[in-house]
Amino acid sequence: MSDPFAAALDALFNAPGTAAAVYQPDYGEPVAIRVIISSLEDDASYGGGQRTRMRGTVLEIRRSDAPRIRPGEIVAIGGSIADGQLVGGDPVLRISGDPRGDVEGLTWFCGTEPLDE
């Protein structure tokens, strides 16, 4: 008997708006994963009435692929693994801030920033 929740999660992570990626933890080997990619756009206000538009990329990652994610770790969209090393990727993103888990504990929501900034 197949798990309907696992099947639904697999379908979500293979739908449009997803991508193959490689997660590189601070310690250990890189891991091939799939991610759901979302854009974040928000207005922020500062003193004196100044406003700025903040943009970023949010990745949703299955906890079964990456049980622990820490700020500063790397996700390379479209990257690959060769000889146990992360190779390529465009874009290559750094996890920024603390990842948040979903209510069911199945996925992480991770804010990111480009690695080269």
pLDDT digits (tens, 9 = 90+) for 16-43: 999 999 999 999 999 999 999 998 765 5
Q: What is the pLDDT of residue 41?
A: 62
Q: What is the pLDDT of residue 54?
A: 55
pLDDT digits (tens, 9 = 90+) for 45-83: 566 666 655 567 999 999 999 999 999 999 999 999 999
CA separation for the pair 112, 11 (Å, rounded): 24
Measure CA 117 to chain center: 17
Q: Are 40 and 58 in contact (CB under 8 A)?
A: yes
Lowest mean pLDDT among 1-5, 87-91, 99-103: 1-5
Strands 85-87 and 31-46: unpaired
